[in-house]
Structure 1
Amino acid sequence: MSDMWTGEKVRLRGVEPGDWEGFRSLARDTVDVRNAGLVEPPRSDESFRAWTADRAARAPGGEAFRLVIETLADRTFSGSVTVGETDTRAGRFRTGIEIARDHRGRGHATEATELLLTYMFAEQRHNKCEVEVHAFNDASLALYRKLGFMEEGRLRQHEFFAGSHHDVVLLGITADEYWATHRRPAVR
């Protein structure tokens, strides 16, 4: 059996209600949250349970979705990957990824992003993936550049947090660029 959602180290799966502790853990590190988006006030455990239950009840796919990254070795929550801001007419979408601190440096982000790009390019007929990365987020910039994303621009002093304004780097990869270094999925 061939499963396009499973790599050598991780698999992508839908959100389950029990994943709330993993999402709570991702939200507890201010630096990590800032790298992924916006720092918010602390939330209750019940809030995380309700948020995760709501995500678990949604069918993945469509315009925007989130998948859990699970390790194959011990089936633990490693992080999540998202798709959003899809433009089916132009064939573009945006993605983002969060990896738990104790799972970093193991190739989970690379493999999860490759699984997602393969799905979006091979099954959803998208032509381009875009990401926005804070200019100081060296790990994410290195990840996307390693995967073949090209820098397309910089939004100067675009975001405000930690007492000052920060640049955002725009990167993108086309389906042709991706397929130049990755195998297309087999039909059989």
Structure 2
Amino acid sequence: MTSFWTGTRVRLRGIEPEDWTGFMRFAVDEERLGDAVQPPRSAEGYRAWAKEQAAAETDGDCFRLAIEALDTGEIVGAVSTNHADPQAGRFEYGVTVGAGDRRKGYAVEAVVMLLRFMFAERRYHKCEARVLDYNQGSLALHHRLGFVEEGRLRDHVFLAGRHHDLVLLGILADEFDRLHPPA
């Protein structure tokens, strides 16, 4: 039997101390995709962060996992759950894939595994995502996964000298199940 966390292209796993180089690469790749440009962090800062993540206990239903490509064994991205509210039955999530590994199906497979866990195993009802309006790749990914635009916070984020809309997206457990039935 294959692990729940292993798909055809990727495996989701805990972050290891040696993953620091991947996360440093993702930070450079996503410098203009996030909601704020941060000052550069040192290599030692990434090493310490990855070591801390590797030793961290899971915070309930909020966690971060590395996305490892099965064909190379290399870390290609990460997924995380945030703001999990079991009483309301909703959570937010985030995904990042390195620039050289985008459009290979890694993000879709990783997100489907993550959502299947949160919906089928943890009994959540809704997943929410927030995407900047100019991030067309992320918006297309979310629509492909079945997320629906639920709102837009106009001129919500200031970045690169101007304001941008923040697009609010959501998918319900039953919508996810119809679009992504278990194998």
The TM-score range, normalised by the shorter chain, is: over 0.9
Task: Look up the SS of the partner of 2:96 in the other structure.
Answer: strand
Task: Look up the SS of the partner of 2:6 in the other structure.
Answer: coil
1:12-58 Cα deviation digits (max 9, x unpaired): 000000000000011123xx233133211011111000011111101
Checking the alignment, whether the CA contact within 8 Å between 2:35 and 2:159 is kept in structure 1 is no
Runs of 4 or more off by more than 3 Å in structure 1?
A: none
2:2 paired with 1:8: no
C-alpha separation in 2, matches of 1:36 and 1:19: 20
Q: In the TM superposition, what is the alpha-carbon distance from 1:182 to its structure 2 partner? A: 1.7
Q: In the TM superposition, what is the alpha-carbon distance from 1:181 to its structure 2 partner? A: 1.6
Distance 1:4-1:21 versus aligned 2 partners, 3 A rule = same
Gaps of 5+ in 1: none
1:23 aligned partner, one-letter code: F
1:58 aligned partner, one-letter code: A
Q: In the TM superposition, what is the alpha-carbon distance from 1:62 to its structure 2 partner? A: 1.4
Checking the alignment, whether the CA contact within 8 Å between 2:35 and 2:132 is kept in structure 1 is no
Gaps of 5+ in 2: none
1:80-99 Cα deviation digits (max 9, x unpaired): 01100111101100011110
C-alpha separation in 2, matches of 1:11 and 1:80: 11
C-alpha separation in 2, matches of 1:34 and 1:4: 33
Structure 1 vs Structure 2 CA RMSD: 1.2
1:76 aligned partner, one-letter code: E
The alignment-based identity, stated in percent, is 49
After superposition, residues 14-163 of structure 1 pair within 5 angstroms as 14-29=14-29, 32-60=30-58, 62-163=60-161
C-alpha separation in 2, matches of 1:36 and 1:123: 30
1:112-131 Cα deviation digits (max 9, x unpaired): 00010000001111000000
Task: Look up the SS of the partner of 2:31 in the other structure.
Answer: helix
Q: State how many pairs are aligned.
A: 183
C-alpha separation in 2, matches of 1:34 and 1:117: 26
1:149 aligned partner, one-letter code: F
Q: In the TM superposition, what is the alpha-carbon distance from 1:61 to its structure 2 partner? A: 5.5
With normalisation by structure 2, the TM-score equals 0.96
With normalisation by structure 1, the TM-score equals 0.94
